[in-house]
Amino acid sequence: MVTLTINDKTVEAPAGSTILEACRHNNIELPTLCYDPDLRLEGSCRMCVVEAVGRPFLLAACVAPAENGMVINTESPSVIDARRMILELLLAAGEHNCLTCDKSGSCRLQDYCYRYGVSETPYAIPDRQKTPITDPNPFIVRDYEKCIMCTRCVRACEDITGAYAIGVKNRGFDSRISTALDGGLKDSPCVFCGQCVMVCPVGALTSRVSASMGRDYEFEKVPTTCTYCGVGCTLELNVKNDRVVGVTSIRDADRSPVNKGALCVKGRFGWDFIHSQDRLTRPLIRENGELRPASWEEALDYTARRLGEVKSQYGANSLVVLSSARVTNEENYLVQKFTRAVLGTNNVDHCARL
C-alpha cells in the first residue's frame, strides 16, 4: 500500500495504482470522459486533472501513478478552471444540441457542463469539413459532430471485440473516428456488436434500432439473461409503456460476471421481434399442404397424439425437438425438460441462429 493525502485527508491505496484508482479506492469521485476501467489507458480528455503539491503542472489522474507521500487536490481553483476550459473547448469542437439528442439525461459531457456551470464557449474552432450522418447500416447511428475524440469506441473495438474496424483519421482539429478508407461500417470488419455504443459517453454513437423510443431516464431497466445462445450473457431490457424499446449493457462484473457488458449483434440489437406484427397469435395446423388456424386445445391434442404415435412406432430417438431463442428462458427450460423427461430423448436443440 502507498499513503497519500487527497483533499486534506490521509488515505491508502494499493501500490501501482493510478491517482484516479486511489481516489476511487477511497470513494473520492473524479470526472472522466476518456477513461474506462475495461479499456487500455489513454489520458487524452484531461477531465480528471488534479493538482499535486510541488508539481509545476496539473496531472491527468487516470495515467499518473499514485506515489507515497503525494499531496493531491482534486477540486482546487486551478483544477476547476482547467476543467471548465476543457469543457469549453469540447463544446467548440462539435455540435452538441442537448434539446434533440437521444443521450440527453445520460450524457457525461452534459453532466459535467452542468456541474461546472459551462453553458457556452468563448472559443471558435477553425472551419473544418463536417461529417454527414450517413452510414447505411441497420444498427448504429454515427453522429461524429457530437464526438469528443475520447477514443473509447476505438479501444472497445480493439480491446473487447478485437475487430479493429475503426481508428483515428487525421490529426489536430481535423481528427475524427473513421473506418479504413473512410467507408461505411458494413464494408469494414465491424460485427455490429455495439460495444462502441456501450462505451460512448456522449451522443456520437447510438442505437438505430432504439432511435426515437425515448431517453434513458424514461426507461425501466429489467435485468435478464440473453436467450440467443448458451453463453448466458446478462443484459437490461429497456421498457417503456410495457413495451421493450431497447437493450443496454450491465457493466457491473458482480451483476454480469459472464460478459461484463459485452454483447453480440443479436443480444444488443435483435430484440425487435418481441412486438413484431408478423408474430403468430394462434396455432396453425397443416392440412393438405396448407396451414389453417386452430384452437390451442386442438393444436395440443393433435401434437400429443402425433408424438405418441411416432414414439410408439419408431421409438423415442426418432423424435427431435427444436426450440427457439425468441421465447423466454423459462419456456426453453420447459421444452428441454419435456423432451428428456416425457418424450425420453436427448434430441433437443436451441436454435440461436435466427
Query: Is the same domain home to 59 and 98?
Result: no
Query: Is the same domain home to 189 and 228?
Result: no
Query: Is the same domain home to 96 and 202?
Result: yes
Q: Does 26 reside within a domain?
A: yes
- 3-class secondary-structure state, position 323: strand
pLDDT by position in tens, the chain (length 354): 999 999 999 999 999 999 999 999 999 999 999 999 999 999 999 999 999 999 999 999 999 999 999 999 999 999 999 999 999 999 998 888 888 888 999 999 999 999 999 999 999 877 766 777 778 899 999 998 899 999 999 999 999 999 999 999 988 888 889 998 888 899 999 999 999 999 999 999 999 988 778 888 899 999 999 888 878 899 999 999 999 999 999 999 999 999 999 999 999 999 988 888 988 889 999 999 999 999 999 999 999 999 999 999 999 999 999 988 888 888 989 999 999 999 999 999 877 665
Q: Does 233 reside within a domain?
A: yes
Ramachandran angles phi, psi of 296, nearest 5°: -60, -40
> Which amino acid is residue 171, in one-letter code?
R
Q: Does 266 reside within a domain?
A: yes
Query: Is the same domain home to 97 and 164?
Result: yes
**CATH number of the structural domain spanning residue 104:** 3.30.70.20
What is the predicted pLDDT for the residue at 72? 96
Ramachandran angles phi, psi of 129, nearest 5°: -70, 125
Query: Is the same domain home to 232 and 270?
Result: yes
For the full predicted model, state whether its pTM sits above 0.75. yes
Cell of 115: 456541474
Q: Cell 440527453 appears where?
A: 104
- 3-class secondary-structure state, position 19: helix
Q: Using one digit for the tens of pLDDT, what is the confidence trace for 61-105?
A: 999 999 999 999 999 999 999 999 999 999 998 888 888 888 999
Q: Does 99 reside within a domain?
A: yes
What is the predicted pLDDT for the residue at 118? 95
**CATH number of the structural domain spanning residue 32:** 3.10.20.740
Query: Is the same domain home to 111 and 196?
Result: yes
**CATH number of the structural domain spanning residue 264:** 2.20.25.90
Query: Is the same domain home to 294 and 270?
Result: no
Query: Is the same domain home to 306 and 248?
Result: no
Q: Does 256 reside within a domain?
A: yes
Is 14:130 a contact under the CB 8 Å cutoff? Answer: no
Query: Is the same domain home to 246 and 153?
Result: no
What is the predicted pLDDT for the residue at 57? 94
Query: Is the same domain home to 233 and 320?
Result: no
Q: Does 321 reside within a domain?
A: yes
Residues 6+ apart with CB under 8 A from 266: 226, 228, 325, 352, 354
* Residue ranges making up the domain that contains 102: 92-207
Query: Is the same domain home to 227 and 256?
Result: yes
Query: Is the same domain home to 102 and 160?
Result: yes
Total domains present in the chain: 4
